[in-house]
Amino acid sequence: MFGRKSDSQPAHAKPPKKAKVKASRPAPPPAVPYGGEPDIGGLGRALWRSKTRIIGLTVIAAAFATVAVNGMTPRYRSEARILLESKENVFLRAEADKQSERAAIDPEAVTSQIQVVLSRDLAREVIRKEKLGDLPEFDPARSGVGIGKTLLGLFGLARDPNSMSPEERTLEAFYERLNVFAIERSRVIAIDFTSSDPELAARVANAIAETYLTVQQSSKQEQTRAASAWLASEIATMRDKVADAEAKVEEYRSKANLYSGSNNMSLPNQQLTEINSQISAARAQKADLEARARQLRDLLRSGKSIDSSDIANSESMRRLNEQRVALRAQLAEQSSTLLERHPRIKELQAQIGEVERQIRTEGERLARQIDSDAAVAGNRLETLTASIDQVKKLASQTNEQDVQVRALEREVKAQRELLESYLAKYREASARENINAAPPEARIISRASPAIKPDSPKKVPIILIAAFAAFALSSGFVLTGELLAPASAGYTYPAAVYGSPEMPAARMVLTAPPVPPAPPPVMPSPVARVLNPAPAPAALKIEQVAAQLRALGEGGRRVAVAGAQRNAGTTYAAIALARALSRDANVVLVDLAFNAPNLSVISTDPHTPGIAELVRGEISFGDMISRDQFSNVHIVSTGNVGADANAIAASPALDTAIEALAMSYNYIVLDIGAVPEVAVERYAALASRAVIVGANDAATRAAQQRLAMAGFADVTMVLGAAQAAAA
C-alpha cells in the first residue's frame, strides 16, 4: 500500500519519517514475471549461467560427429554427360524423310530418354559388363547383412536383403548410387554414379553412357531389320497380287473379245474412227460431183462457153474445141474476101454449128457421167452410214466392257505402284542395315573421370550441423526451464508491510530513472494567411504541405499551385505535391497553366486530349484522363487551347469539370501557372487553398498578397527548385 499526505495536513507540517524494515536478500526474480512479458535480460543471464553445460554438449556433439564421419566409408562421384542430337545427315536419311524437317528434341523427349537410361534392361547390361554382382558393395549378402537392416526387415520397415535374389540386391544397390537428370535449358543428360572406388564410379558412369548409345543404335537397327523383313514379305505378296490382277485383265479381254488395235484402241472404236473418216470423204465427194454436174448444165443451158475442169480433161471435148477453133479461123479468113451469102461462107458456118452441137452433146454426156458418179458416191455414203450404225452398236457394248477392263487395269496399276514403292523402301532399308548407317540420336560430350575428393560424407558440414544442433537444443532446454521457473520453483512475491499504530504507514518509494518529457506532437503549422504585406513566413517543404492538407481534411482537398513568376518551378512543385498526396489517396493533377502547359510530358499518353476539348464539348469526361508515368497520380492536361485560353478559364464548364473531379478523387491539385500571367481571382473559386512557389523576396510576397486578396483562404509558400537547391 502506498501512503499519501492527508488533505488536512498543513503545508508547513514536517513529514513523518520512513519506517525502517529489515528484510532478507530476495531471490533473483524470474525471467518471466507474473503476468508480464519475458525478460530478455533474464534469459540472457540464464544462458550465461549455463554456458559451461551448453559449450560442453556442443563440443561433445562435434566430437561424436567427427568420429562418426571419419568412420564412414567415403564415396566418390563421377559424372558423364550425353547430348541428345540427330547425327544422321541428309545423305544417310531415308528418301521419305529428305523432304521434311526433323522435329526438334523437346523437354518431353529429354525426359523420355532419361527413363531409357534408368531402364532395368540397361542396368542389367551394365551390371553384367562390369561384373558388379561380384562386388560386396553391390551385394550386401556377400559381406554380411548388418543387424540394423535385419531388424528393419523383421519389423517390415525395410526389405530383408536375405529374402531378395542376388540380381535384386545388385539392382537396388545400383539404383541407390545412380542419379540421372537433365541439365536445365539444354538437351544434355547427366549421369552421376557414386561408389567407394573412384575408378569404379567413373568406369560405371562411362559404361552406362556407352550402353545407352549402343541400345539406341541397336534399337534403330532392329527397327530397320524389322522393316526390311516386313517389306520382304509384303513384296512377295504384292508380286502375287500384281500377277493375279494382270491375269484377270487378260482373261477378261479374251472372254469379251476385246482386242487392241493401234494406239491401244479397241477394234470397234478403231473401225468406228475409220468409217467416220470414209463417210466424211464420201459425203464430200458426193457434194463435189453434184456441184460440178450442176455447174456444167447451167453452162449448157446458158449457151455460154463451156470452160470447166471436166471438159478440159475430156479428149473428145478437146478435139471438138480444136475443130471449132480451126473452122472459125477459116471463116474469118474467107470472110475477108467473100460475102456473107457465099456458099463457102455458108458451108463454114454450117460446119461450126455442127461442131458446137457436138460439143453440147458431149457436155450433156459428161454431166450425165458426173451425175452417175454422184449417185455412186451417194450409194457408198448410205452403205457407210449403215455400217457405222452397226459399228456403233458394237462399240457401245465394247465400251461397257472397256469400263470393266479399265477398272481391272487401275487395280493392276495401283498394285504395281505399291509394289514399286515397297521395292524402293526395301532397297533403302537393306542399305541402312549397316551399323554405320544407323547412328544413335545422341553422343557423349563428357566422359567420367575418377574423382579426387570424396563426395560424401561432407565432413565439415556434418560436424557444423551436429554442433549447431547440440548448441540449439541445449540452449532451448535452458531457456525452456527458465521460462517455466516461476511455476515450478514456487517464487513468492513480497507482501505489503504496514506500519505500527504509533507511526504512519511505511511509504514504499518506487524510483525510476528520469524520463525526459515527450516532445509535443509535431502538428503541421497553420497555413500562412496573408492579409497584409507582413513578412512572409518560412517556406515549407512539399511533405509538410501534404501533411497540412491531410490534417485539414475536407478543407484541404483542393489546392492551387502558383508561381511567383515564370520558371519558378511551379509545375515541378505541383507534381511533387500530387505524388506526395497519392501515397495514401486518389489524386488528380490538373494543368490550368494555359500559357505554358508542361504536364503532358509526364503522362503515359502525351497526346491525350485535355480540359480545353472537354470545355468545348468535343470529348467525354473519361477521354481526358491519363496516368503519371512514375506514380499513381492521374493527369488532366490543358489540351489544344489555341487562342481560347481566356474563354476556357472563364467557362462555367470548367467549374463543372472540377466539381466532377472532386466527386471522384480525394485531392485535386491545380497547376495555374505564374501569378503575374493569370487571373488568380478566377481560380480562387475552384480551390480554397493555394501554394506559392518562389523565394523569400519581394516578388514572392507580392504574389502571396495578390493570392490572398483574390480570395484564397490560406497561402503556403514553398521554395522553387533553384532556391531549394541553393538552400
- Residues 58, 88: one domain? no
d(CA 105, CA 84): 8
The segment with the largest mean pLDDT, out of 97-101, 103-107, 710-714, is 710-714
pLDDT of residue 369 exceeding 60, the answer is yes
C-alpha cell at 556: 484541404
- Residues 398, 483: one domain? no
Q: What is the mean pLDDT of residues 93-100?
A: 54
- Residues 275, 422: one domain? yes
Residue 710, in any domain of the structure: yes
The domain containing residue 619 runs over which residues?
542-726
Strands 689-694 and 714-719: parallel
Residue 500, in any domain of the structure: no
- Residues 114, 197: one domain? yes
Q: Could you give the 3-state DSSP secondary structure of residue 162? A: helix
Residue 326, in any domain of the structure: yes
Query: How would you write 176-225 as a 3-class SS string?
Result: HHEEEEECCCCCEEEEEEEECCHHHHHHHHHHHHHHHHHHHHHHHHHHHH
Q: Could you give the 3-state DSSP secondary structure of residue 154? A: helix
Residue 396, in any domain of the structure: yes
- Residues 196, 324: one domain? no
Dihedral, CA of residue 467, residue 469, residue 472 and residue 477, to nearest 10: -110
C-alpha cell at 599: 504536364
* Model pLDDT for residues 177-190, shown as the tens digit of each residue: 999 999 988 899 99
Which are the contacts of 466, defined by CB distance < 8 A and separation ≥ 6? 61, 62, 64, 65
d(CA 661, CA 670): 11
- Residues 475, 422: one domain? no
Q: Is 465 exposed, middle or buried (0-12, 13-18, 19+ CB in 10 A)?
A: middle
Q: Which of 414-423, 431-440, 465-474 has the lowest mean pLDDT?
A: 431-440
Given CA atoms 425, 428, 433, 436 in this order, what sign does their dihedral have?
negative
pLDDT of residue 22 exceeding 60, the answer is no
Q: What DSSP line would sit under 499-568, residue for residue? A: --TTSPPPPPPP-----PPPPPP-PPPPPPP-SSSPPPPPPBPHHHHHHHHHHHGGGGSEEEEEESSTTS
Q: Could you give the 3-state DSSP secondary structure of residue 39? A: coil
d(CA 151, CA 147): 6
Q: What is the mean pLDDT of residues 703-716?
A: 88
- Residues 566, 701: one domain? yes
Helices (H), 50-85: 51-71
- Residues 481, 335: one domain? no
pLDDT for position 559: 94
- Residues 466, 416: one domain? no
Residue 365, in any domain of the structure: yes
User: Model confidence at 88, in pLDDT bands (50, 70, 90)?
Assistant: low
- Residues 268, 403: one domain? yes
d(CA 323, CA 353): 11
Residue 11, in any domain of the structure: no
User: Model confidence at 212, in pLDDT bands (50, 70, 90)?
Assistant: very high
Q: Which of 253-267, 455-469, 578-592 has the lowest mean pLDDT?
A: 253-267
Largest pairwise CA distance in the chain? 220
- Residues 223, 281: one domain? no
Residue 499, in any domain of the structure: no
* Model pLDDT for residues 370-380, shown as the tens digit of each residue: 888 888 888 88
d(CA 482, CA 386): 134
Residue 174, in any domain of the structure: yes
Last residue of a domain, one of 412, 446, 480: 446
pLDDT of residue 352 exceeding 60, the answer is yes
Q: What is the mean pLDDT of residues 561-568?
A: 87
Q: Which of 249-258, 414-423, 459-468, 623-632 has the lowest mean pLDDT?
A: 249-258
pLDDT for position 81: 95
Report the CATH number that the domain containing residue 582 is assigned in CATH. Answer: 3.40.50.300
d(CA 641, CA 643): 6
pLDDT of residue 525 exceeding 50, the answer is no
Domain total in the chain? 4
- Residues 59, 190: one domain? no
Q: What is the mean pLDDT of residues 244-248?
A: 87
